[in-house]
Chain A
């Protein structure tokens, strides 16, 4: 009799969140944060490649100065599709909803998020929002740009604006639910001994991100709702012919959309801090400053939206204030770069795939940040606003940095999420391909922008062709770099070698539970007795 009980016990410890339950409904009705994270991962991958396909067609069109691959109407719909998919349905949910969902409760020693059902609802809202947007594409597409500027979007565009706007509106709730869940979880569900300054920086990053999601997302929801009111019912809010103000829309839009840039980059900073510490075998230098810098970026990020509107006709003095505050955001960003550099000083470095992505992130984020200073400078921004300079700048932040961090994090925690290791050679190769392809795609765009090529141009003067061809060539390399991980990561689910609980020999509670983790994360609630990143000589040797 006692033998039978023992057998059951061992079986139970081997059971993990993937094997705890079977069947499609065990996924669609799950409240397990890990499974929801996996569901998000599959969905955002779909939207990423959809947005990527649009980008591919755009780059092909731009290889020649004249219009040849697609029609002007189609081109305009492609860049709108690309922006909407990548921003609202890939970048915003990427690290928070996939890695954050999966890891945040485990990292603080909790069994799940505070509101598991709201977490599941978040995924459903995301999917319904996504379906509306896909419906908008099937209904003929949208040509307003992801910015939906009025009065073009409300009174002039003849495309499916309402469907896309409804999609973005609904998707907003998924962001709010995730943010709310993270905030409450970090406040209320930390394991014994997990004090605020023992939280991994990834958790701090999620916390700062959640503040932005909860405070900013309602504003975009309101702006989208007002677009529906004006376009469908003729209520004059933004159209001056009806007594509205088109600039008001820009204020509402950027009050969300600038902070949301930090929703894309702060989680990446969190991921990079974890990876750099692990592969340098050292505690993150200036841990408290790193945590405060995350919060500072989140707070100041709310006060700089007007730098998108320097030439919109807003007041000159208003522009000056926004310019100064935008320069100030550079300070906490610089702190982070210096501290990562100081972290690898006197470390014991190894260069596995996640570390390659993290180092690539630091380099590209430095360039993205410094070109941000140029855009914060009023006199320069007047010239390069709405040109390819801006396009290059924000791709360095949102693709060069945020996507690199997402891929780095995905490789780092892949063995934890799946219990299998990815092929290291292929990982390193694709990290290199992404880095080279990315720079070749976007660096020429800085030059194009300063030479004066406006963005969202279907045709362009012939003198800009050489740089555009370089950019398109880079994009084809970048595409390979993104398809490779898709293939080898999926294959590793069957072919990858099984790993133990801590393949990287890292600190952090997520590495103390088995891989993949059991349904409720820990068999016994862990008690935290040491600060984060307690890498030491002994641990280095093992």
Chain B
């Protein structure tokens, strides 16, 4: 992806150099030739210049629209994560990055990833707006409080790369830096296995699902009528209002914190809010658990 971005950049540099040198050359050439007192021919033809004006509207127009289309196509691919991407959760806060692997391993200001595999980051902030920026991968995405944003990359070379916070976030903004370490897949596996084997994100989420009492209603054996969550993630959900929304991270989050805002069609708004009872870290775990409930099975109640 970095190569494709650089290609546009180089094309634009070439275009800009041509344009700048052409203008500078003309200005300097005219400045010398038509300096006051020079003997240059100054008789002007009578044409209105309308043709010239048309040409220098039309030609730049075609060029910039071409550039627009090219850059937009690359952006589209930058924006859409491939389906095989594995997920890492990112929590930004003044002034550090917290990164969680699906297997449960947690890192601070460092992110280890295997070479060649697409990585999708699901990110949120605990306080102000931050921005996840890895210059070497040409990616950047703001990280917002109370909302999930995502960005993806596929590392193509092992090594250690800068990770910066790019959105000004207070006193130690320039200290909110770290590194992305791209490892050989074998090394990555041993790195992941190294040390105490923690619980995976989804397993922690499953525990929370029980301790917070979610399973009391959202379970097949429950007496309270609530939607089952197997296979919900990533699928369209019909709402009481007649709207249909996709069950993404944001929807799951809103359903936990603001359960009355988007009630599933056919159900009553009886769920209490979990605002204040669950923190950002736990939310990400519950979301990981709900994601793990299978994207392809759909159980009707």
Contacts and interface: CB of A to CB of B under 8 A. Distances in A.
A479 interface: no
21 contacts: A143-B170, A149-B129, A152-B169, A156-B170, A280-B34, A311-B141, A313-B141, A313-B147, A327-B64, A337-B23, A338-B52, A341-B26, A348-B36, A363-B27, A366-B19, A377-B70, A379-B78, A380-B71, A382-B75, A383-B135, A386-B166
B25 to A, nearest CB: 10
Given A149-B168, A363-B23, A366-B19, A323 B60 contact: no
A425 interface: no
Nearest to A285: B49
B166 A454 contact: yes
Interface string B18-46: 01100110110011001111001111100
Instruction: Identify whether the interface residues of A are mostly helix, strand, loop, or mixed.
Output: helix
Interface stretch (A208-216, A368-376, A494-502): A368-376
B140 A457 contact: no
A378 B20 contact: no
Interface stretch (B4-12, B82-90, B189-197, B208-216): B4-12
B135 A452 contact: yes
A366 B20 contact: yes
A528 interface: no
B199 interface: no
A226 interface: no
B174 A373 contact: no
Contacts of A330: 60, 64
A188 interface: no
B57 interface: yes
A417 B27 CA distance: 30
Contact of B4 (A143, A344, A376, A379): A379
A36 to B, nearest CB: 36
Interface in A317-362: 319-320, 323-324, 327-328, 330-331, 334-335, 337-339, 341-342, 344-351, 359, 362
Interface in B91-121: 94
A298 to B, nearest CB: 17
B145 A151 contact: yes
A241 B9 contact: no
B144 interface: yes
A313 B149 contact: yes
B27 A331 contact: no
Interface in A502-528: none
Contact of A348 (B42, B138, B146): B42
Contacts, number: 225
Contact of A247 (B4, B26, B56, B144): B144
A367 interface: yes
In order of increasing CB-CB distance, the 5 nearest A-B pairs are A452-B135, A377-B71, A240-B146, A378-B75, A379-B74
Given A149-B168, A379-B74, A313 B9 contact: no
Contact of A241 (B94, B138, B145): B145
B255 interface: no
B42 A383 contact: no
Nearest to A383: B138
A328 B20 CA distance: 19
Interface of A: 72-73, 76, 143, 145, 147, 149, 151-152, 155-157, 240-241, 246-247, 280-281, 285-286, 289, 311-313, 316, 319-320, 323-324, 327-328, 330-331, 334-335, 337-339, 341-342, 344-351, 359, 362-363, 366-367, 370-371, 373-374, 376-380, 382-383, 385-387, 450-452, 454-461
Contacts of B52: 286, 338, 342
A382 B12 contact: no
A379 B75 CA distance: 5
B248 to A, nearest CB: 13
A385 B140 CA distance: 8
Contacts of B166: 385-387, 454
A152 to B, nearest CB: 4
A316 B3 CA distance: 22
Contacts of A452: 133, 135-136, 162, 164
A359 B27 contact: yes
A351 B31 contact: yes
Given A380-B12, A382-B75, 14 more contacts: A247-B144, A286-B49, A313-B142, A324-B68, A327-B64, A339-B53, A370-B16, A370-B20, A379-B5, A379-B78, A380-B8, A451-B135, A452-B136, A458-B174
Contact of A246 (B31, B35, B43, B145): B145
Nearest to B59: A334
The residue in B24, B149, B166 that gathers the most chain A C-beta atoms within 10 A of its C-beta is B166
A155 B74 CA distance: 37
